[in-house]
Structure 1
């Protein structure tokens, strides 16, 4: 009896420790993916005359930059058709704890150089999705943002109520706070489509070459001596410096591991 009790106690301890480790690993993965920058892609829930135009398009900031004053501070769908002409700055964001709140906020870059960050929020009067600094966000609804567990789609306030609204030649993003398809917010007859916003990993660019560091004279002489010895002895079946498969490419150009995103978030105004 004592042996059985000892076994059960030991099994429970091991099982409990295993479950705790799994929970810690799960929490670490959750925090890691939430802190990585993502783009937002539009998915249409129903087929209609506009769905082919919007399906798979990116979310951008400020839409058409040629008319920045009329489209300032809003989120739009990139419906541009010119390859070399930018439609807007793509949403490039991640979750970040909102100041003085227990909820998660959502931030995005608003330009590439320098990489300035702004908060995403829902306008409390128009229900439009907008971006701005802390002062602008505080006056509206900046939280809570989250994502679905399986597909990691964007969620606001615990549910998905995102709408695409046609405004002239552009499609703006709204959130259906009143669950009435914005009947009190947009003119009657305005095309309004139910959509979801898919968080997708950003395209990975080619790593930049690492700067060359000047070697001390002694190390440089040793390296040259080693290279000469390899060339004379025909190491790896070829003459000259020892490079795998006689490659003439700079070491590490295509094998370089992309740098990890920092877990610490940059300051956001």
Structure 2
């Protein structure tokens, strides 16, 4: 019985640890996804005379509102493409939605729903605070954009343009737009931004290159320092040996076995150059 109980406790511990790891990994993936910049693409819910114009078009920012880029003027860019992500809204537990409003510099603004007109707009925090800046989220499967926990996005024709609204009253904006104005139900799909070609690193200026070269030279000098010391000690030892040999050669000259150095400086591979003796030396006895 005790063995079974031990097994059950061990199994529960391992299972609980495994589930905790899965939850942490899932939460990390969710946060990473929500903090990644995305574009917004329009998808029409029903087929109509305008769906071919709006389907697959991207959302852009212009003035202070969000529009659908229908490409009416192909030679001229219309607005700044939505490039945003979820960000915790200050002084709240809900997620806000931000987007760049220009590329250089990459200034970010909050996306919000206008309190009175229900238009989708963008601006700084003071503008967002006066309207409906939260809560933004996305659907679990397709990652479609949601606001307040549901999808009530509408495309409204304003002259030659299509603006984005949110149907807060669920009445297709009957009290907000003139009668007869085309109003279409749409979904906003979050899609990953296109990956541009990476830019090559900027060339280093001459000063930095010289500094790096000096650092490398110092490192090389430090690395060779002990060897250099050994070489110096070796040279001293060699000089000492040569000095002793020179002294022996001098003594040999006195004894008549060797002469002075040739040309006062020439050397021989086995020591100082010596002249042969005037008389042959006596050969050693052979046993």
Does the TM-score normalized on the shorter chain lie above 0.5?
yes
Write the distance in 2 (CA, Å) between the matches of 1:216 and 1:25: 44
Q: Which residue is 1:178 aligned to? A: 169
Q: Which residue is 2:77 aligned to? A: 86
Equivalent position to 1:211, from 202, 212, 216: 202
What CA deviation, in whole Å up to 9, does each residue of 1:53-110 have, x standing for no partner?
Answer: 0000000001xxxxxxxxx200000012444410110001000000001100000001
Q: Which residue is 2:19 aligned to? A: 19
Equivalent position to 1:164, from 137, 155, 159: 155
Q: Which residue is 1:153 aligned to? A: 144
1:39 deviates by: 0.4
Q: Does 1:139 align with 2:136?
A: no
Q: Which residue is 2:107 aligned to? A: 116
What CA deviation, in whole Å up to 9, does each residue of 1:136-187 have, x standing for no partner?
Answer: 0000000000000111100000000000000111100000000000000001
**Tell me, which stretches of 5 or more residues in structure 1 are unaligned?**
63-71, 221-269
Choose between structure 1 and 2: higher helix proportion. Answer: 2
Return the TM-score normalized by structure 1. Answer: 0.76
The 1:2/1:109 distance shift into structure 2, 3 A limit, reads same
Q: Which residue is 1:130 aligned to? A: 121
What secondary structure sits across from 1:193 in the alignment? strand
Equivalent position to 1:97, from 77, 88, 91: 88
CA RMSD of aligned residues (A): 1.4
Write the distance in 1 (CA, Å) between the matches of 2:152 and 2:94: 19
Write the distance in 2 (CA, Å) between the matches of 1:18 and 1:143: 35
Write the distance in 1 (CA, Å) between the matches of 2:203 and 2:17: 47
What secondary structure sits across from 1:166 in the alignment? strand
- The 5-angstrom pairing of residues 185-204 of structure 1 reads 185-204=176-195
**Tell me, which stretches of 5 or more residues in structure 2 are unaligned?**
218-287
Equivalent pairs, count: 211
Write the distance in 2 (CA, Å) between the matches of 1:48 and 1:82: 22
Write the distance in 1 (CA, Å) between the matches of 2:4 and 2:55: 61
